[in-house]
Amino acid sequence: MEKYITIILLTLFFFCRHAVANEAVSTTKHYIVYMGEHSYSDSNSVTSSNHDLLASIIGSIREAEEATVYHYHKSFRGFSAKLMPEQAQKLRETESVISVFESKAYELHTTHSWEFLLHDFPQDNKSIEIESKSDVIVGVFDTGIWPESESFNDKGLGPIPERFKGKCVAGDLNNNFTCNRKIIGAQFYKDGYEAQRGLLDPRTVYLSPRDSNGHGTHTASTIAGSVVNNVSLFGMASGTARGGMPNARLAIYKVCWPGPGGCTDADILSAYDDAIHDGVDIISESLGYTPEVGIENLFTDVNSIGSFHAFQKGILVSASAGNTGTLSTVANGAPWIFTVAASTINREFNSYVHLGNSTILKGSSINPLKMDKHYGIVFATDVPAFGVQAETAGYCYPNTLDHKLIKGKIVVCSSSMNDPRTLKSQVVEDGGGVGMILIDPFYGNDIGFEHGIPTARLEAKEIEILQKHLKINKNATAIIYPTTTEVSNIIAAPKMAFFSSMGPNIIAPDVIKPDITAPGVNILAAWSPAAPTQFGSVNYRFDSGTSMSCPHATGVAAIIKSHRPTWSPAAIKSAIMTTATRTMRNNMELISKNPSGSPATPFDYGSGHINPAAALDPGLIYDYNTSDIIDFLCSTSGASKISNLATCKKPPIPTYDLNYPSIGVANFSGNISVSRTVTYNGDGPAEFTATWDTIPGVNVIVEPSELKFKEEGEKLSFKVHFVPEKISYEGLVLFGSITWSYENKYKVTSPIALNMASAIA
């Protein structure tokens, strides 16, 4: 009996121990512990010190080693670990720790776009040389790359730059991933993803830098794709595919995996640690937080942290603004990040609908599919499935249509703002329908969706004609023609994409974000043939988003870096921002929004639309360095731990006095003077004169209004005084700009945004 009691007690002991252990695991979360720079001599010392710190919180070195997921030791100090909330709080209270925050998830945010930028867009009579003047290495944080794509051939490229310290990690032994003189480095990061989501399945994803999604291949080829002739998607957008700087080198950092939120903080920060150490010149990342995630301050955002250390090393970080399309949702708002919005180019993809009475309606789509004859048309509201209301059926949601009544028909479906468009055509196809006409007032021509059956999206005018025709003709028929590509100077462009996220900037309110806008709508670029599409396996594909505009800005930055290798990240940003244009190319009207046509503001486009040729020779530069950034950080929220980075000045310098190429004041309630310093970048003496917009309710004074430079590199300062008039604009944001001009050679423009925080009596 005693023996059995012992066995029972031991069983209960191990059961309880297992249960307690499971409970501990179930209450842990994946945290990042950021500690700034370090002075340790080697990575082993950093790792050992991290374990010592963590052991002091959780009990032992062994437990610290088991809890740790990543050590950040090359470019800055920190680690990520599975911790309980109370353990994370104790680390926050440790003097050497700057911030502790949960590892969150980021979302992933051509044949004509570069032609539009480099040749068709007004260049103020300036030409641009896109050939490399010096080697530029671009690090791409994304879903990996498809190295066999012709866009990544290394013909004509010289040896890999000796300064590059990165690796080419093949990963899965069955993968056959190799680098060349174009793709000079490739690594992948999965530990953070697996710590939060579970193990990845090698049967469904490549455990290597190889891209099974397509997104990373698309962005990398837009930045630096080699010149490839006769590229199209089934004849659409036929032409020469190329990146912004075909001679640039690529270092690939695969940080994103399948599914929503597939890019984790811990993996991204590890990629920063490596990329900075590897010696890249520019980092491009088409990813960012969604507004729902929420960020407390600049010290709890890995893009802000990683890009800060990149900035210190002279590396420009170019990032997407996000695809939420509403106010106050702009991502990547740190002032040392180059934040890019999305806009259109002068190209349309039209899919015409030919009605039985010979009326032709202009639609839009990505539709290579041919119809062999006219088919009958039915409204989805007229063919609901049993028990489904007509209004619900009208949106062509799954299981809402009567398959008998839509078989062999073209179905007219409606769409709400957030409906998945491709799913609607799939519902029609599954029910036996042969085509779809989509009533979609939200998207304009911004996105050409892929569909498995012939599909055309109609705008309001065409929809009205169709409705009248069907009302009169009960047996109406139509044929949907395959998409035709139309490039024309008559097409007003650029316009802001409806999906492009907007300011004001929540994380740094006195800095206008986004910084710039660039092509991001229906961009054709290289694709992974392993990534599924409606048309099967393809090597080039259309995609839209600020994910597509970001690599365009990165490409322009690479061109400038090649021509101006000693310029700082801030100088490159300034050159692009101050030479941007705020007008559409064909009619010189101010940039508007799609599809409404309402006027856009700096909260939509930042400084304007990117203008590569002008950016190579900007005239004046707004430069700033790490010391200026520290002054900025000392005045922001979350600055209590700044002592670990540097010593703050007393009193702190206002954040609106950061020497940024735009001027933002987030709390304007009285007289304010904003200071700026410009560096002359030109030949011989020059005298610049200031002009500025009238801002309603505010008197603007620039002092001095003339800047006389004697030689290149000279710096001169000025102040912009904002004096409110006795008119109330409480709660409004007032916009304007200031331009420094020298003869007909230079126009250096900075947007202004004043948030009227209170009534002016």
Catalytic residues: 142, 215, 547
β-sheet bridge partners, residue 723: 699
β-sheet bridge partners, residue 540: 526
DSSP string, 273-313: HHHHHHT-SEEEE-EE--TTT---SGGG-HHHHHHHHHHHT
CA angle 505/506/507 to nearest 5° reads: 100
Q: Does residue 646 contact residue 630 with C-beta atoms inside 8 Å?
A: yes
Rounded-to-integer distance, Cα 616 and Cα 558, Å: 11
How many angstroms from the chain centroid is the CA of residue 86?
Answer: 34
Q: Does residue 140 contact residue 284 with C-beta atoms inside 8 Å?
A: yes
φ, ψ for residue 607, nearest 5 deg? -90, -10
- Identify which of 114, 504, 545, 498 has the alpha carbon closest to the alpha carbon of residue 340: 545
- Identify which of 554, 488, 624, 1 has the alpha carbon closest to the alpha carbon of residue 281: 554
314: phi > 0 → left, psi -120 to 50 → alpha, else beta; which? left
H or E stretch including 390?
helix 390-393
C-alpha R_g of the chain: 28
Rounded-to-integer distance, Cα 311 and Cα 272, Å: 11
The helix/strand/coil state of 472 is helix
Rounded-to-integer distance, Cα 682 and Cα 746, Å: 10
β-sheet bridge partners, residue 682: none
Q: Which two tokens stand for residue 150?
A: 């012709």
- 302-312 vs 626-634: helix axis angle to the nearest 10? 150
Q: Does residue 484 contact residue 477 with C-beta atoms inside 8 Å?
A: no
Widest CA span in the chain: 104
Rounded-to-integer distance, Cα 462 and Cα 448, Å: 17
The helix/strand/coil state of 158 is coil
Strand ranges (E), 155-258 = 183-188, 228-233, 236-241, 249-254
Cα dihedral 551, 555, 556, 561 in deg (nearest 10): 130
Query: What strands lie across the sheet with 746-756, from one edge to the other?
Result: 663-668, 746-756, 733-742, 686-692, 706-709
Q: Does residue 578 contact residue 749 with C-beta atoms inside 8 Å?
A: yes
